[in-house]
């Protein structure tokens, strides 16, 4: 059994970027993924312009540029939001992720697809994994592993990084529908749509669109009811019962490194708690993990104490975003529909919208600045405080955060 330098487990955005970083430096890298077709994770495929600038999307993988959206309050009041220039792209996510794998392979990484890692062991001699493909079990040995195998992966427990319990999370539910003439993304709020959360209708190309919801609560027929509502409104042609679900982490795992091991992407709990978006944070963390691993391999120092710098690096860049976003999510969930209706009426009013969302400082990819401005706003802050004791703990935690990212 040959000894490789690195095994990357999971060929999503984090894994592909990590593999590229390592293979481009000449390290022997194998990427193992249970899927035959890469990139087919459930996702809306919306990426911010900053993400695109840093990790470019090929033109042929872009469905459309997005600079507008319509937000609906629990009562159905419509709030159009129109920016001066595009703030995000709606992309073919599967093609985008496959293009990253193509880059990694061009750099020399080997992809072992259709194989699920069923055993993971780390000791002084290195990392040993067993991968199952049908009735065949193969063994792979490496000096170091990068785990990017998605939310709730059992590999963290095998690596000694978690006790097996799932981290705080939501569940997303989504399907593809026909929606003639849909120009902009639409966001729907209210417990009748998704308990303590929201639903979306996102245009792709032609008449295709994605409809979905996410919530921390059990989704028992909510997506079907949401589709029936959209059908009655003439937004979509008919409901599609073939929906799929996936887990969305709300908090990072307690530790993202160990001897010979780094964890990135959804496996590490890196997603925006506000919207559930995870592509950009996966790419950032995957790149950091790849660079940290390359340095450790170069120095032949693969202990936890040497790999700890990775956790310091990601906390410096996205740590506050994850923390502030989580408290904002909890604040949002603590409001009832009537309170949310009042908040949206003020937050999405022309003056406040221009001040907070349509300002040059607003970022699709970094939410903490806008969140902090919201809770400290002269009108919005007092309104939120008036909502009472259920809201107070989360508002208090937000107010204790610093304004800067």
108 and 230 fall within a common domain? no
Write out the residue range of the structural domain in which residue 142 sits: 3-42+94-167+250-317
**Residues near 385 by beta carbon (within 8 Å), at least 6 away in sequence:** 391, 392, 395
Partner residues linked to 64 by β-bridges? 90
How confident is the model at residue 165, as a pLDDT?
61
Token duo for residue 187: 């966001």
Could you tell me how many residues make up the chain?
Answer: 405
Domain stop point among 317, 341, 369: 317
Q: Is residue 405 pLDDT above 90, yes or no?
A: no
Same-domain check for residues 176 and 30: no
What is the model's pLDDT at position 164?
52
Is 93 in contact with 45 (CB distance < 8 Å)?
A: yes
Q: Which helix (H) or strand (E) holds 91?
A: strand 88-91
Q: Please check whether residue 356 lies inside any domain of the structure.
A: yes
Looking at residue 80, what is its pLDDT?
96
Residue 51 lies in a domain: no
**Domain-located, residue 81:** no
The predicted-structure confidence for 90-136, as pLDDT tens digits, reads as follows 999 999 999 999 999 999 999 999 999 999 999 999 999 999 999 99
Quote helix, strand, coil % in the chain, to nearest 5. Answer: 35, 25, 40
Q: How far, in Å, CA of 144 to CA of 27, rounded?
A: 11
- What 8-state DSSP symbol labels residue 58? P
CATH number, residue 233: 3.30.9.10
**Interatomic CA distance for residues 277 and 273, integer angstroms:** 8
In sequence order, what are the residues at sequence separation of 6 or more whose Cβ sits closer than 8 angstroms to the Cβ of residue 304?
257, 258, 259
pLDDT tens column, 292-303: 999 999 999 999
Are both 238 and 260 inside the same structural domain?
Answer: no
pLDDT tens, position by position, 5-57:
999 999 999 999 999 999 999 999 999 999 988 867 668 899 999 999 999 99
Position 80 in a domain: no
Last residue in a domain, options 262, 293, 317: 317
Based on the fold, state whether residues 234 and 339 are members of the same structural domain: no
Looking at the structure, tell me whether residues 394 and 338 fall in a common domain: yes
- For residues 272 and 371, state if they share a domain: no
The answer on 212 and 99 residing in a single domain is no
pLDDT at residue 402 greater than cutoff 60:
no
Considering the domain boundaries, does residue 57 fall inside one?
no
Angstrom distance (rounded) from CA 11 to CA 29: 12
Same structural domain, 14 and 131:
yes
Element (H, E) at 71: strand 68-72
What pLDDT is recorded for position 404? 45
- For residue 130, the SS3 value is strand
Tell the residue number behind the tokens 């990426």, with chain if given: 47
Query: Does the residue 86 lie in any domain?
Result: no
- 260 and 373 together in one domain: no
Residues 340 and 394 in one domain: yes
Same domain, 144 and 261: yes
Domain for residue 405, yes or no?
no
Single residue among 248, 268, 284 that ends a domain in this structure? 248
377 and 288 both lie in a single domain:
no
Q: Please give the tally of structural domains in the chain.
A: 3
Residue 131 included in any domain: yes
pLDDT per residue as tens digits for the range 201-256? 999 988 999 999 999 988 889 999 999 999 999 999 999 999 999 999 999 999 99
- CATH number for the domain that contains residue 32: 3.50.50.60
């Amino acid at each position: 059994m040959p000894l490789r330098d690195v095994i990357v487990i999971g060929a999503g955005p984090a894994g592909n970027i990590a593999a590229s970083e390592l293979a481009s430096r000449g390290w022997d890298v194998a990427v193992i993924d249970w899927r035959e077709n890469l990139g087919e994770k459930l996702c809306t495929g919306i990426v911010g312009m900053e993400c695109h600038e840093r990790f470019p999307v090929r033109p042929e993988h872009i469905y459309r540029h997005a600079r507008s959206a319509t937000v609906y309050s629990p009562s159905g009041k419509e709030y159009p939001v129109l920016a001066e220039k595009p703030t995000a792209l709606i992309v073919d996510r599967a093609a985008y992720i496959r293009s990253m794998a193509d880059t990694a392979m061009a750099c020399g990484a080997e992809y072992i697809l259709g194989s699920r890692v069923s055993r993971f062991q780390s000791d002084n001699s290195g990392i040993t994994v067993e991968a199952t493909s049908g009735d065949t079990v193969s063994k792979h040995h490496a000096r170091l592993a990068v785990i990017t195998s998605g939310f709730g992966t059992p590999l963290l427990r095998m690596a000694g990084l978690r006790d097996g319990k799932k981290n705080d999370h939501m569940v997303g539910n989504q399907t593809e529908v026909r929606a003639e003439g849909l120009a902009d993304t639409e966001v729907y709020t209210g417990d009748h749509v998704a308990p303590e959360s929201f639903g979306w209708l996102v245009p792709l190309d032609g008449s295709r669109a994605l409809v979905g919801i996410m919530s921390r609560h059990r989704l028992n027929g909510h997506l079907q009811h949401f589709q029936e509502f959209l059908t009655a409104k003439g937004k979509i042609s008919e409901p599609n019962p073939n929906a799929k679900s996936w887990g969305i982490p709300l908090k990072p795992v307690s530790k993202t490194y160990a001897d010979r091991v780094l964890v990135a992407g959804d496996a590490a709990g890196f997603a925006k708690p506000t919207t559930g978006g995870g592509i950009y944070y996966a790419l950032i963390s995957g790149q950091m993990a790849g660079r940290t691993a390359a340095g450790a391999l170069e120095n032949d120092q693969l202990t936890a104490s040497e790999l700890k710098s990775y956790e310091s690096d990601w906390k410096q860049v996205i740590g506050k975003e994850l923390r502030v976003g989580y408290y904002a999510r909890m604040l949002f969930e603590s409001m009832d529909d009537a309170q949310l209706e009042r908040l949206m009426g003020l937050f999405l009013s022309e003056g406040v919208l221009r001040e907070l969302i349509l300002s040059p400082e607003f970022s699709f990819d970094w939410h903490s600045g806008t969140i902090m401005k919201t809770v400290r706003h002269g009108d919005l802050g007092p309104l939120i405080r008036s909502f009472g004791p259920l809201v107070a703990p989360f508002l208090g935690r937000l107010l204790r955060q610093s304004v800067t990212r």
